[in-house]
Amino acid sequence: MASDTSKHVVEMRNIVKRFGNFTAIHNANITIGRGEIHALVGENGAGKSTLMNVLYGLLPRTEGDVLLRGKSVHFSTPNDAIAQGIGMVHQHFKLAPSFTVAENIVLGAEPTLAMGRLNMRRAETETGELSKRFGLDLDPRAMVGSLSVGLRQRVEILKTLYRKAEVLVFDEPTAVLTPQETRELFATMRQLAQSGHSIIFITHKLREVLAVSDRISVMKQGEIVATIDNKDVTAQEIASLMVGRSVLLRVAKDEAKPGGRTMLNIRNLTALGERGENAVHKLSLSVRSGEIVGLAGVQGNGQDELVECIAGLRQPAGGKIEICDKPLGATPADNRALGLAYVPADRGGVGLSLQSSIWENMTVGHLPKFKRGQFLSIGDARARADELIKRYDVRGATLDKAAGSLSGGNQQKVQIARELSREDGSLIIAEQPSQGVDIGAIESIHRILVEMRDAGKAVFVISADLDEIFSISDRILVIYRGQIVADLKASDATQEEVGRYMGGLETPIVDTGASVKEPARVC
């Protein structure tokens, strides 16, 4: 339903938000119409979440006015915003897995009987009716821990609707969904808009912005630089507004020419999860030199355990892992010596030492090349780090600055620069490589990964973003419940097809055992 901007439900006028001497939001102006789906896009650190946190009462504004239904409001806490009909559907769900759907929805706003006792019958009736009203099809008595990711998100949406939210803020809602679940979410968003709800959709996925929004506001460096109707713009134009220059949304690359050398060979791998369950079960895969293999899957299907086994951070319970017929060592250092370059998703806990300087983080693992006799040439190491800072455009970085002082996206650039600049890295494991990185930097990272492939290296990309998987992969593997269920040529596959395998809706087309066909290895 198109918005009626003559009836603005939300108006944010000249909003300023300062943190000490740093101004995060500069005179931002945005209006949200009744029944409108309004996308808010921008690069990492542009101020999208900060602006919405001001609206939701999580942060006090420094200057400016917020009007709700034409009246000035000031929210000190999210409870104030909720009481006035504003709800937020968080990217990371705020649910209790051991509670039922109804218990999660009414938590904090429970219907009661005499003596304050929970009226469970009424809670289940009301949540069931609400679910049917908006076509969300949830069983009020189901345990949340047993639900799929998409159904859990529906619980989050119903939590806001139960509290009579008229304005809903969706913060990166599709980050963990399959394409089918994303399509169902968009149908729900449209139904909500048709019933008079207003939706603010924060995302970095431009294809999805164009698929569901009525209007689009672009943020850059804390300001709203443009608000445009969906029908009047392309994804390329939105990206250019965000970055300030033309960018490639899909990396340009020739067809892969994989060699006969298998750089990563996994056979019948089994790995246990944190609760002792089989997180990875008899999984087999291979990655050859000269190809980029992307691993797609809904988070929680064994990707983390698989990568940790390859990196030497987790001990396999069975099976074998080889780099060119050489068994992986017992430690990450052993595996790096075999030629493994690893970009972990957990940059703060695994990839970087946040307390250490940027030059130390960029050169750790490269130190032997800076030895001069028995001594380390710190000057050469610092010069190398300075070169990488410029090449990878690590903004706000100085050599002696602590890595932890950088934004998340620039921390990602530090570990990307260190790992992808390794001359001895024959196998590159890139886990969520563009996570938290600006569109312009994503273009650069993808181009470098393709250059690595063209130089004869093997690249294994694990990403929750299907756009990223399709943009750079030559071959796509799909993991579901700890097993590889599909091995597809990227140029022949579709996102819908991959999404069906991700959701377990298709019969596996590969045998995860030793019968998986693989080219001969020449090592």
Confidence band (pLDDT; 50, 70, 90) for 199?
A: very high
Give the architecture (CATH level 2) of 4-243.
3-Layer(aba) Sandwich (3.40)
- The tokens for 390 are 């410029």
Q: What is the mean pLDDT of the chain?
A: 87
pLDDT for position 195: 93
pLDDT for position 303: 93
Using the predicted structure, report yes or no on whether residue 517 has a pLDDT greater than 50: no
Q: Give CATH 3.40.50.300 domain extents, the chain.
A: 4-243, 248-339+424-523
Using the predicted structure, report yes or no on whether residue 491 has a pLDDT greater than 80: yes
- The tokens for 257 are 């020419």
pLDDT tens profile 22-37: 899 999 999 999 999 9
Confidence band (pLDDT; 50, 70, 90) for 134?
A: confident
Using the predicted structure, report yes or no on whether residue 6 has a pLDDT greater than 80: no
- The CA-CA-CA angle for residues 40, 41, 47, to 5°, reads 85
Using the predicted structure, report yes or no on whether residue 489 has a pLDDT greater than 50: yes
| Mean pLDDT to the nearest integer, 2-28 | 84
pLDDT for position 469: 93
Q: How far apart are CA 320 and CA 282, in angstroms?
A: 10
Task: Write the single-letter amino acid at 511.
Answer: D
Kindly list the strands in the beta sheet with 483-489, ordered across the sheet, starting from the edge strand earlier in the chain. 340-343, 427-431, 458-462, 292-296, 475-480, 483-489
SS3 content of the chain, % helix, strand, coil (to 5): 35, 25, 40
Q: Collapsing DSSP states into helix, strand and coil, what is residue 317?
A: coil
Using the predicted structure, report yes or no on whether residue 65 has a pLDDT greater than 80: yes
pLDDT for position 207: 85
pLDDT for position 56: 94
Using the predicted structure, report yes or no on whether residue 447 has a pLDDT greater than 70: yes
Using the predicted structure, report yes or no on whether residue 479 has a pLDDT greater than 60: yes
Using the predicted structure, report yes or no on whether residue 1 has a pLDDT greater than 90: no
Using the predicted structure, report yes or no on whether residue 222 has a pLDDT greater than 50: yes
- The tokens for 37 are 């789906």
Using the predicted structure, report yes or no on whether residue 79 has a pLDDT greater than 60: yes
pLDDT for position 515: 34
Confidence band (pLDDT; 50, 70, 90) for 140?
A: very high
Q: Is the separation of the CB atoms in 326 and 338 below 8 Å? A: yes
Give the architecture (CATH level 2) of 248-339+424-523.
3-Layer(aba) Sandwich (3.40)
Q: How far apart are CA 45 and CA 406, in angstroms?
A: 11
CA distances from 360 to 349, 365, 418 (A): 16, 10, 10
Using the predicted structure, report yes or no on whether residue 120 has a pLDDT greater than 60: yes
Q: How far apart are CA 49 and CA 219, in angstroms?
A: 11
pLDDT tens profile 296-305: 998 889 999 9
Confidence band (pLDDT; 50, 70, 90) for 286?
A: very high
Q: How far apart are CA 477 and CA 493, in angstroms?
A: 11
Share of the chain above pLDDT 70, in %: 95
pLDDT for position 248: 63
Give the contacts of 454 (CB within 8 A, at least 6 positions apart). 253, 254, 290
Q: How far is CA 179 from the centre of its chain?
A: 14
Q: How far apart are CA 180 and CA 489, in angstroms?
A: 21
Q: How far apart are CA 328 and CA 265, in angstroms?
A: 10
Between 298 and 166, the higher pLDDT residue:
166
pLDDT for position 75: 93
Using the predicted structure, report yes or no on whether residue 239 has a pLDDT greater than 80: yes
pLDDT for position 475: 96
Q: Which residue has the tokens 């990227």?
A: 490
| DSSP letter string, 462-516 | E-S-HHHHHHH-SEEEEEETTEEEEEEEGGG--HHHHHHHHTT-S---S-SSTTS
| Mean pLDDT to the nearest integer, 180-205 | 90
Using the predicted structure, report yes or no on whether residue 519 has a pLDDT greater than 50: no
Share of the chain above pLDDT 90, in %: 54
Using the predicted structure, report yes or no on whether residue 38 has a pLDDT greater than 90: yes
The total of other beta-carbon atoms located within 10 Å of residue 133's CB is: 12
Confidence band (pLDDT; 50, 70, 90) for 249?
A: low
pLDDT tens profile 341-378: 999 988 888 899 999 999 999 998 887 788 888 888 99
Residue among 410, 426, 430, 412 nearest 336 (CA) = 426
Q: Collapsing DSSP states into helix, strand and coil, what is residue 31?
A: strand
| Mean pLDDT to the nearest integer, 174-187 | 84
pLDDT tens profile 313-342: 999 999 999 987 789 888 888 888 888 999
CB burial of residue 272 (10 Å; 0-12, 13-18, 19+): middle
Using the predicted structure, report yes or no on whether residue 464 has a pLDDT greater than 60: yes
The alpha helices in 370-490, defined as continuous H runs, are: 378-391, 408-420, 439-454, 466-472
Using the predicted structure, report yes or no on whether residue 513 has a pLDDT greater than 70: no
Q: How far apart are CA 452 and CA 467, in angstroms?
A: 20
Q: Collapsing DSSP states into helix, strand and coil, what is residue 218?
A: strand
pLDDT for position 100: 94
Using the predicted structure, report yes or no on whether residue 95 has a pLDDT greater than 60: yes
pLDDT for position 424: 77
